[in-house]
Structure 1
Amino acid sequence: MPVTTETRPTTGVSRTAVIIAQARATENAREDRLFADPYAQAFVDAVGWIQVAQAGRLNQGHFVLRTKFFDDYFLAAAASGCRQAVVVAAGLDTRAFRLEWPDGFRLFEIDLPGLIAFKEAVLGVQGAQPTCERTVVRADLRTAWPAELLASGFDPEQPTAWLIEGLLMYLEPADSDRLLTDLGALSAPGSRLAIEHINQEYVELPQLRAVHERLRKVGASWRSTVDDPFGWLGGHGWNATVTPQTELAARHGRPVPELTDPERVGSARMWLLEATRSAEAGSPAGAGRA
């Protein structure tokens, strides 16, 4: 399918996917890049560069560090023996193409049909070939997406590495809870989860006022926060740990992103979390079926 005005992601949360691709493209051009993403610039070229507010420019370092953080999360899961992953609301994620996966690894990408159409068109022009078994699932996460995932060959009896990146703040609290409930029901013992979320104090930062106005205009307002991610994830059967951006920045020799620096923003947080399935969470739906 060619890239057309109908398939270009210019509104809503899909628009933010292009902004993140811009950050990845900029990082890819650096000699000291933390990761390679040879397809990010193609997504940007197909849409045109989107001007972002000052806060968005200040957060580019966060987008880069979180990409590296979640890259390493997936590679660690694969190295531990996990052979199945799901990227929830995958957007313009290209990990299926740019990471080195072990033989037999399966990666599922879930997102809306329109954004998937754009992504597939751009990747097709680039001649991109996945480095694992890649399956695209066209589904709205506010509806019965588990059935679509299962119908695509997902195995709920196998440990899964899940990723929810740059999504939860755009969902209503009830939709976020429903997503975690559905996801947990599909998670076998040994499954992992990585997420990004924000607390209420982050939303209220004065530096983000222009960002909120721009997001509102394109229909992508932030609708939920979590002040206690450990309790929230624990209530859904996950044992979580958080990695501060200060730690990531030190690990990779980069400055701490200004809007995630406690010395500048106090207790405002953009959480980067990894979690494992609690032993008492029980077996996933469908486990033990013939």
Structure 2
Amino acid sequence: MSRTAVGVAALRALESGRPDRLFDDPYAGAFFHAGRALFADRERQDGRLGEVFAEQVAVRTRYFDEFVDGAEQVVILAAGLDARAFRLSWADGARAFELDLPEVLEFKDSVLAEQGARARCARTVVPADLRENWPEALLNAGFDRNLPTVWLAEGLLVYLTRDEAERLLTEVTALSAPGSRISFEHRPDGDQDEVLRKARAVGGEVIALWRDGLGPEAPKWMTARGWQTETVTIADLAAQYGREPAGQTRGGFLAATRIGEPNH
């Protein structure tokens, strides 16, 4: 089971307990308690890392909640302990596909079953390694490539090398009908981003896994492949949600809409 996924669930549980919460995830606490043994020998370090990312995760979760609003077909890449299929309101007939490693999905479904959780949309889990032939697994699970799709790559690209990120997004592009949308984290300052520097100062196993994905060039890369892009900062979203922005990072999110064929 992924320590990163359990750690993010802990932060979502903390946010859900606030009177001014940006979202409510009633399953996050159960995920953390079921997986907390993973933190037995690292609680102090992981607690410090959680302090760095708490506000980021709160804003990020709310942002991606809004990004899928009204979608008819959603694909959640590296879904981890994402419970959106169970906690959000969905359009009639909406379908959500969750891709992740088999052991992650098995852990997740066991906890949800214990909680008596019921999906609010047509939910399909797709056990797959994103470094392998996941498009075939998605298509075999009933994904409709002719339908505009909302893709979530929340907290994912930072763990991929540039080559891996390019391959993944090329595969997403090939499966995306015009009008499809995707969003993922974007940090225009790259390694110099304030939040990333603070996290690296804390260190730890999670930080050692970072590979930075497409880096600051993501908007240019996506535009060249038939996507129309825009970006928004964590600070602007925090202000919009009534929160005091944490730190001076220019980092935030890239949102892209599929408009046509690649330019090359």
TM-score by length of 1: 0.82
Q: Match of 2:14, SS? A: helix
Alpha-carbon contact 2:6-2:36 (below 8 Å) kept: no
* Aligned 1:1-290 pairs, distance under 5 A: 9=1, 14-48=2-36, 50=39, 51=43, 52=46, 54-75=48-69, 78=70, 82-198=71-187, 199-202=190-193, 206-215=197-206, 221-225=209-213, 226-258=215-247, 261-262=248-249, 269-281=250-262
- CA root-mean-square deviation: 1.9
Unaligned runs of 5+ in 2: none
Q: Match of 2:34, SS? A: helix
Tell me: CA distance 1:163–1:206, structure 2 relative to 1, closer, same or farther (3 Å).
closer
Alpha-carbon contact 2:52-2:198 (below 8 Å) kept: no
Tell me how far apart the structure 2 counterparts of residues 20 and 237 of structure 1 sit (CA, whole Å): 32
* More off after superposition, 232-241 vs 175-184: 232-241
How far apart are residue 181 of structure 1 and its match?
0.5
Unaligned runs of 5+ in 1: 1-8, 263-268, 283-290
TM-score by length of 2: 0.90
How far apart are residue 177 of structure 1 and its match?
0.4
1:47 counterpart letter in structure 2: G
Instruction: Spell out, residue by residue over 1:7-41, the C-alpha distance to the aligned partner (whole angstroms, 9 max, x if none).
Output: xx2xxxx2111111111100111122111100000
Alpha-carbon contact 2:186-2:252 (below 8 Å) kept: yes
Tell me how far apart the structure 2 counterparts of residues 150 and 33 of structure 1 sit (CA, whole Å): 37
How far apart are residue 61 of structure 1 and its match?
0.4
Tell me: CA distance 1:90–1:204, structure 2 relative to 1, closer, same or farther (3 Å).
closer
How far apart are residue 180 of structure 1 and its match?
0.4
Tell me: CA distance 1:33–1:204, structure 2 relative to 1, closer, same or farther (3 Å).
closer
Aligned to 1:4: none
Tell me how far apart the structure 2 counterparts of residues 205 and 111 of structure 1 sit (CA, whole Å): 25
Alpha-carbon contact 2:77-2:98 (below 8 Å) kept: yes
If asked which structure has higher relative contact order (CA below 8 Å, sep 6+), I would say 1
Sequence identity (%): 45
Aligned to 1:265: none
Tell me: CA distance 1:64–1:191, structure 2 relative to 1, closer, same or farther (3 Å).
same
Q: Match of 2:216, SS? A: coil
How far apart are residue 215 of structure 1 and its match?
2.3
Instruction: Spell out, residue by residue over 1:148-204, the C-alpha distance to the aligned partner (whole angstroms, 9 max, x if none).
Output: 000000000000000000010111111100000001100001101111144222389
